[in-house]
Structure 1
Amino acid sequence: MSEASHKQALYELVCRYAQAVDQRDWTALARLFTSDAVLQGPGFDFQGVEAIVAGMSGLGRFSLTQHHVHNHLADVEELEAQAETYCVANHLYEADTGTRKLDWGIRYRDRFACIDGLWRITRRELLLDWSQDLPLQGAAQ
């Protein structure tokens, strides 16, 4: 497999993470990580894939999320890789004043391992660069 193929596979992996989280597909999410993976961010530290899935299921408090994956730069060395990925995550929720939209500007710092020909996340660190919480403009379906 070429370096470009590995980088494409890593990009698809981080996109599948966004899709699994937004669709609340916890089985698909679990397949993206190694069993001993770590997911850390502001106020959370999930150790192991079971803790990651349990922790991420807390997103159920939002009526909808959309993670938009942007810049993704990866460095591949044989069967290991690291990357930084930019993401804007939208979270809709209900408040006394109506529907609100919490937006996060995220940078993920990731480490990956290629196991049996498939890339998996071994460590994901969520860095929150900015956030805003505004009334939703327009109808949410």
Structure 2
Amino acid sequence: MGSPTSLAELLDRQAIADILVAYARGADRGDVDLIAAAYHDDAVEDHGGTFNGPARDYVAGMRRMLPRAPRMSHSVTNILIDLDGDTALSECHYLTFARLPVEDGTVDSLTMARAIDRFERRDGRWAIAHRRVVWDWNHEMPTAETWGRGLIARDPSVLVRGTARPDDVLYAMQATGTKEAS
């Protein structure tokens, strides 16, 4: 996992990093097409004990689950990529926030997981050939949304909030180019 030695290697690393971040966007925005695009058609997804099989079956499950999923936010950090020609091994951390329904309301859950991915470049396209998820830790706490004790917004109803595709501001702005979305 040494330093890049060429522009081509930098471009390959960036292409792989973009896939990892787009996958997270897909999970957060309920945009399963972004998740599907991260994989080769014959890829394997081993989701660390919760799923192990063809990635296409995992994606099909996401198509059913994400429209009903709670609010989530995935942050991708510590991306390391070891390139070897048309293959690469990457490790990245996903720090995930989720607001989960429970009997008496909601809890907020923080989870740290790592994705260990074998990428392959086929026909000039990098994608995941095999993913293994490793769960590192989880912490749950009561929901206490105060928006910085009122410093961010005294009235949270004025805040523009993130939501799923197609209603999120991102998709409105993509549809209008760089013009302001309403």
What TM-score does the superposition give when structure 1 sets the normalisation length?
0.89
Max radius of gyration: which structure? 2
Matched, 1:45 2:72: no
Q: Specify the code of the residue in structure 2 equivalent to 1:70.
A: T
SS at match of 1:133: strand
Q: Unaligned 5+ residue runs, structure 1?
A: none
Match of 1:71 in 2: 78
Per-residue Cα deviation, 1:74-125 (whole angstroms, up to 9, x for no partner): 0111111011101101111222332211111111111101122221011111
Post-superposition shift, 1:59?
4.6
Match of 1:133 in 2: 140
Structure 2 contact 115–134 (Cα < 8 Å) conserved: yes
Structure 1 contact 72–83 (Cα < 8 Å) conserved: yes
Q: Find the partner of 1:18 among 19, 24, 28.
A: 24
Q: How many residues are treated as equivalent by the alignment?
A: 141
- Aligned equivalents of 1:41 and 1:79: distance in 2? 24
Relative contact order higher in (CA < 8 Å, ≥ 6 apart): 1
- Aligned positions of 1:1-141 closer than 5 A: 2-57=8-63, 58-138=65-145
What TM-score does the superposition give when structure 2 sets the normalisation length?
0.70
Structure 2 contact 80–91 (Cα < 8 Å) conserved: yes
Relative to total residues, which structure has the larger strand share, 1 or 2? 1
